[in-house]
Structure 1
Amino acid sequence: MSMREPVFQQEEQTQSSSVRPFGIRDKVGYLLGDFGNDFFFLLTSTFLMVFYTDIFHISAAAVGILFMVARLWDAFADVAWGRFIDTRPTTKNGKFKPWILRMSFPLVFTGVLMFTTIPGMSDTFYLAWAFVTYIVWGTLYSTVNIPYGSMASVITADPVERTTLSTWRTVGASLAGLVINVLGPMIVFVDNKISADRMFMTACIFGVLAISCYIGCYKLSTERIEAPVKEAKKGDFLRSMKGLVKNKPFLWVLAASLTAMLTSFIVMAVNTYLFKDYFSNAAALSLVGLVQMATMFITVPLVKPLVAKFGKKEISVVGMTFASIMYIALFFLKGITTMPFIVLSAIAMMGMGFYSIVTWAFISDVIDYHEHLTSLREDATVYSIVSMSRKVGQAVAGGIGGVAIAAVGYDATVGQQPQEVLDGIYTLGTLVPGILYGVIAVFLFMYPLNKQRTNQLAADLAAKRGLSK
C-alpha cells in the first residue's frame, strides 16, 4: 500500500456522501482567493512607495518608517485575528471562507482610499492620510488573508493535493502579478512619471476585480476537514507558543518565510527605481513582469511531478541556491543593458519559483506537525504566526527599502540621479537579494520534513483521527 492510500481512505471516512471530492473547483476557487488578494497587495508593493514619494511628496525615509510601523502592527493583528478565528464555530459554509466574503468589501474600499488624492491639501495632510489609510488597509487585509491561508489545511489532508493547492495559489498570485507588472506601468506612468489620476482609476478597476475573485473563492472552495472550536481559556496562547517552539519544522519555515518576504519586498521596492533611474526605462517594468511571469508559468507544471519524485524541501533548496548564484552574478555584471538584465533575472526567478510555488504547502504540513506534537488543531493560529513573520519581513523590508533608497542618495526632486546613487540602486537590486536567497536555501536545508517524513506524518494523522472518532 502506498503512503498516500491511508490518507485517501481517511478522507473517505470523514466526508459525508453529500460533500464532493477534492477537484478542479477547489483549485480554481483557491486560485481566485490569492488572485483577489494580490490585486492590491502587489499594487501597493509595486507602486505605493513611488506614489507616496512622487505624488504625495513624502520622503523615502518617511515612507520606510510608515511601512515598518504598519507591518509591525499588522503582525500582531494577524495573531489576534488567528486566535479569534480558531474560537469561531464551523458554519454550514465552513469555518474560514465566510470571513473571506464578509471582510473583502471594507478591505477593497480602504485599498482605493490609499490611492485617492484630494486637491488643495498640504503635504502634512497627505502624510497623515497615508499613515491612516495604509494602516487600516493592512489591518483589514489580515481579516481576509488569515482565514484564506488557514483554509488550505481543511480543504484536503493529502500532501500532494496540498502541493497542488499551493501551486494554484501561486498561479493566482502570478496572474495578478502579470496584470499589475505588465499592464500597470503602461497605465500609471506618463512620460516616465507616475500619474495620480491613472493610479486612482487603476485602484478602482482592480478593486472591482478583487471583489469578484473573493466571491469566486467563496463559491468554489469546499472545507472538508472540520476544524474543532477552540474555547478561549487563560494561558492557551502561551501553551500554543510552547508547542510551536518545540516544532522544528515550524521554526525553519518561519525563518525561511520571513527572509523570503524580506527579499521579495526589497526587490519589488527597488525594481521601480532600478528601471526608472538606473536603466532610464520605466516602461521596461512591463516587460520585466511579462518575462518573469512567463518563467513562473514554465515552472508550474514541473512542480507537481518533481515534488512527487523528490519532495518539497529538496526542490526548494536547489531552486533557491540557483537564484542566489544568478543574482550575485548579476551584481558583477555592472554595465549590463536592460534586456540581458531582464532575461538573467527572470532565469533566477525561475529557481526561486520552485520554493514560492510550494511555500503554502509547507505551512499546511507545519500545521499538521503541530497537531501531531500537541494534539491541538490550531490552523488559524499557526498560519497567523507564519503570516506575522512575513509581516515582520515586510516591515523590515519596507523600512530597509525606503531607508536604503534614501541612504544611497536618491532625491525625487532632481531629474537625473548622480552615478553613485545609480550604482547604489543597482547593488540593492542584485547583491542584496543574491545573499538573502542563499540564506533562505540554508534555512530550507535545515527543515526536517523531507519527502518520506511528510508522507509518514499524513498517514499517522489520518490513523490518529480515525481512532479519535
Structure 2
Amino acid sequence: MNENSTPVLGNEPKLTVGTRIAYGFGDTACNIVYGMISALLVLFYTDYAGVSVATVGLVMLISRIFDGTSDAIMGVIVSKTKSKWGKARPWILWMSIPYCVSAIALFTVPQTQGSLQFWYIFITYNLTTTVFYTAINVPYGTLSTMMTRSSHERDMLSIFRMSLAPIGRIIAVTFTQPVVKLFGDDQAAWVKAMTMWVILAFIMLMICFVRCKETVHIEAQESKDSKVSLGKSLKALLGNQYFWACLILWTVTCVHGTIVGTALPYYCKYLLHNDTWMYSVLYLGETLTLVVGAMLCPFLLRRFGKRQISLVGAIVAVVAHAAFLLNPGSFTWALVTCIIRALGEAPLTAVVFGMLGDVVEFGQWKTHIRQESLIFAGGAVGFKLGNGITSAIISKLLDAAGYISSSGTSVVQPDSALAMIQNIYIWGPILVWVIAVVVLALYKLDNKYPAIIKELAEREARGEM
C-alpha cells in the first residue's frame, strides 16, 4: 500500500492551490534573507567589510550554542501560545518586521577595530538568526501540521514550500552579486541590495499569514497538553527514532546548501578566475533544477513513496558530484554536474517536511503525545547547528590554509588556500549525501504509516491520544 491510500483523519478537504502557494511564499521569504546569510555573508564579511576569517568563524561557532537553545525554547512557546489566529500562525505576523530590519543590520558592519567588529557581528548575527529567524521559522514549519492531517496534503505543502523556497535563494544568491556590482561593488551596495530583498520578503510573509489558517483541532490533545510536563515531552521526542532520521536528512539538505553556497563563490573567484557571472550561473542552474525536480515529485510520489524517491535521488547526487572530479577546472562540466546533482537532491529536499509531518503522527501513536512544534523545533536545531558549524569549519579551514582576507582590493591567494577551497567544494557535498543514503536505506516509516494512522483514528474516536 502506498501513502496515498492512507486514511485521512477528520475527512479533511483538499487544500487549494492558492493556499499551497501562499504557504510556499513563507519559505521563499525566509530564504531571501537566510540564503544571503548561509551563502554570501562570509564572503561579504571577508572581502567587503575586511573582517578576518578567524573572527567570522569564531562568531558563527559561538552563536550555535545560543541558536540551538532558541529553537527548543521557541518550540515550547508555540505549543503554549493561544491567540485568535492559533498557535503557530500569529508568530509570522509578529516577527516579520523585526526579522527584516535585523537582516539589513547584518550588512552595516562599522569600519573600526577588530574587537568592536566582532561584537557588532555577534549581536546582529544572533538577533537575525537566533531570535527573529527562529521565531518565524519554527512556527512556520509547525503550521503545516496544523493546516491538515492528511499525509498527502502535507507532502503537497512540503513540495510547494520547497519548489518556491529556491526562488528566495535565487533572488538572494544569484542576483545579489550582479546587483552589488551595479550599485558600486562596496559595502553600501550590499546594504541597498539587502533592503530591496527584505521588502519583498515582508510582502510574502504577509500573504502566507493571511491565507494559511490553522484547522486541526484534536479535543483529546487540548485537554491533555497542559498536563504533559516539559521533561516528559522531551523524553518522548528523543525516543522517537524517526525524528532523529528526519533531523539528519533535513540537516543534510541544509549543510549541502551551506557548503556549496559558501565555497562556490571562492571556487569561481580563485580557481575559475571569475567573480562576476560564473557563480550566479552555477547557482541559478542548480536552483532552477531543484524547482523543476520538486514539481515532478507529486507524480513520482503516487507510485514510489517518499523514501524510495529520496534514496534514489541521494545516490544520484553522490555519483554526479563525484563525476565533477573528472574535470574540476571546467566551468561547462561544473554546470553539467551541478544540474544532474540537483535532480538527485530534489526529491529529499521536496518531501523532507512531509516526512516530519508523518513523524508527528508516529510520535503520537508511539507515546500518546502530539508534538508538532517540538518536532519542527528539534529539526530546526539540527539544521541551524549544521549550517553554523559548517560555516565555522569552512572559515577555520580557510584560515588554517592561509587564506588572505581583503576589503575590495585584489589579492593573490597562496597555493594552500586554493587547494583548501577546491577540497571543500569537491568533498563536502559527497560526504553529506553519502550520509543521506545510509539514513534513507534504514528509513521504514512509509511502510508502517497506514496502520499507524488507522489506529490513531480509532483512538481519537474514543477520545484518546
TM-score, L = length of structure 2: 0.92
Could you tell me which residue of structure 2 aligns to residue 15 of structure 1? none
> 2: distance between equivalents of 1:126 and 1:2?
54
> 1: distance between equivalents of 2:251 and 2:285?
26
Could you tell me which residue of structure 1 aligns to residue 448 of structure 2? 453
Among candidates 94, 107, 130, match of residue 115 of structure 1:
107
**Deviating more after overlay: 414-423 vs 211-220:** 414-423
The 8 Å contact of residues 76 and 374 in structure 2, kept in 1 or not, is answered as yes
Give the AA of the match of 1:11: N
Cα deviations by residue, 1:354-391 (Å, 9 ceiling, x for unpaired)? 11111111111111111111111221111111111112
Could you tell me which residue of structure 2 aligns to residue 17 of structure 1? none
Deviation at 1:332, TM superposition (A): 4.3
Q: Which runs of 5+ in 1 are unaligned?
A: 13-19
> 2: distance between equivalents of 1:121 and 1:314?
53
The 8 Å contact of residues 2 and 302 in structure 2, kept in 1 or not, is answered as no
Whether 1:329 aligns to 2:320 is no
Whether 1:151 aligns to 2:151 is no
Could you tell me which residue of structure 2 aligns to residue 124 of structure 1? 115
Whether 1:444 aligns to 2:435 is no
Among candidates 91, 95, 110, match of residue 99 of structure 1:
91
Could you tell me which residue of structure 2 aligns to residue 52 of structure 1? 45
The 8 Å contact of residues 248 and 447 in structure 1, kept in 2 or not, is answered as no
> 1: distance between equivalents of 2:179 and 2:3?
50
The 8 Å contact of residues 39 and 261 in structure 2, kept in 1 or not, is answered as yes
Give the AA of the match of 2:136: V
Could you tell me which residue of structure 2 aligns to residue 177 of structure 1? 169
The 8 Å contact of residues 9 and 150 in structure 2, kept in 1 or not, is answered as no
> 2: distance between equivalents of 1:6 and 1:427?
45
Could you tell me which residue of structure 1 aligns to residue 412 of structure 2? 416
**Deviating more after overlay: 105-114 vs 325-334:** 325-334
The 8 Å contact of residues 56 and 127 in structure 1, kept in 2 or not, is answered as no
Give the AA of the match of 1:260: T
> 2: distance between equivalents of 1:6 and 1:299?
24
Deviation at 1:5, TM superposition (A): 6.6
The 8 Å contact of residues 39 and 176 in structure 1, kept in 2 or not, is answered as yes
The 8 Å contact of residues 293 and 343 in structure 2, kept in 1 or not, is answered as yes
Cα deviations by residue, 1:169-226 (Å, 9 ceiling, x for unpaired)? 11221111222232112112479x9521110001111111111011000111121102
Deviation at 1:3, TM superposition (A): 7.0
Cα deviations by residue, 1:258-317 (Å, 9 ceiling, x for unpaired)? 343333212211111111111111221211122112212321232012112111111111
Deviation at 1:43, TM superposition (A): 1.2
In structure 2, relative to structure 1, the CA distance for the partners of 1:172 and 1:297 (3 Å cut) is closer
In structure 2, relative to structure 1, the CA distance for the partners of 1:24 and 1:405 (3 Å cut) is same
Could you tell me which residue of structure 2 aligns to residue 260 of structure 1? 253
Cα deviations by residue, 1:109-128 (Å, 9 ceiling, x for unpaired)? 1111111144x633432222
Q: Which runs of 5+ in 2 are unaligned?
A: none
What SS is found at the alignment partner of 1:304?
A: helix
Deviation at 1:457, TM superposition (A): 2.9
The 8 Å contact of residues 181 and 288 in structure 1, kept in 2 or not, is answered as no
Could you tell me which residue of structure 2 aligns to residue 211 of structure 1? 202
The 8 Å contact of residues 4 and 455 in structure 1, kept in 2 or not, is answered as no
Cα deviations by residue, 1:66-120 (Å, 9 ceiling, x for unpaired)? 112223311110001111110122x3422211111101111111111111144x6
In structure 2, relative to structure 1, the CA distance for the partners of 1:259 and 1:290 (3 Å cut) is closer
Whether 1:197 aligns to 2:188 is yes
Whether 1:40 aligns to 2:51 is no
> 2: distance between equivalents of 1:257 and 1:70?
20
Could you tell me which residue of structure 2 aligns to residue 10 of structure 1? 10
Give the AA of the match of 2:186: S
Give the AA of the match of 1:300: A
What SS is found at the alignment partner of 1:381?
A: helix
Deviation at 1:424, TM superposition (A): 2.1
The 8 Å contact of residues 367 and 383 in structure 1, kept in 2 or not, is answered as no
Could you tell me which residue of structure 2 aligns to residue 292 of structure 1? 286
What SS is found at the alignment partner of 2:445?
A: coil
- Identical counterparts, % of pairs: 23
What SS is found at the alignment partner of 2:35?
A: helix
In structure 2, relative to structure 1, the CA distance for the partners of 1:6 and 1:342 (3 Å cut) is closer
The 8 Å contact of residues 160 and 304 in structure 1, kept in 2 or not, is answered as no
Whether 1:275 aligns to 2:276 is no
Among candidates 373, 391, 394, match of residue 387 of structure 2:
394
**Deviating more after overlay: 138-147 vs 66-75:** 66-75
> 1: distance between equivalents of 2:172 and 2:318?
25
> 2: distance between equivalents of 1:401 and 1:50?
12
In structure 2, relative to structure 1, the CA distance for the partners of 1:232 and 1:109 (3 Å cut) is farther
**Deviating more after overlay: 408-417 vs 355-364:** 408-417
What SS is found at the alignment partner of 1:383?
A: helix
Among candidates 74, 78, 83, match of residue 71 of structure 2:
78
Could you tell me which residue of structure 1 aligns to residue 15 of structure 2? 22
The 8 Å contact of residues 290 and 345 in structure 2, kept in 1 or not, is answered as no
> 2: distance between equivalents of 1:258 and 1:236?
28
Give the AA of the match of 1:328: A
The 8 Å contact of residues 163 and 361 in structure 1, kept in 2 or not, is answered as yes
The 8 Å contact of residues 3 and 305 in structure 2, kept in 1 or not, is answered as no
> 1: distance between equivalents of 2:347 and 2:288?
14
> 2: distance between equivalents of 1:103 and 1:248?
32
> 2: distance between equivalents of 1:41 and 1:258?
15
What SS is found at the alignment partner of 2:71?
A: helix
**Deviating more after overlay: 220-229 vs 62-71:** 220-229
Cα deviations by residue, 1:147-181 (Å, 9 ceiling, x for unpaired)? 00001111111111111100111122111122223
> 1: distance between equivalents of 2:217 and 2:133?
24
What SS is found at the alignment partner of 2:289?
A: helix
The 8 Å contact of residues 71 and 391 in structure 1, kept in 2 or not, is answered as yes
> 1: distance between equivalents of 2:79 and 2:234?
15
Could you tell me which residue of structure 1 aligns to residue 428 of structure 2? 432
The 8 Å contact of residues 106 and 125 in structure 2, kept in 1 or not, is answered as yes
Deviation at 1:48, TM superposition (A): 0.8
Among candidates 153, 157, 160, match of residue 168 of structure 1:
160
> 1: distance between equivalents of 2:270 and 2:368?
54
Cα deviations by residue, 1:45-82 (Å, 9 ceiling, x for unpaired)? 12111111123322112211211222331111000111
TM-score, L = length of structure 1: 0.91
Aligned Cα root-mean-square deviation (Å): 2.3
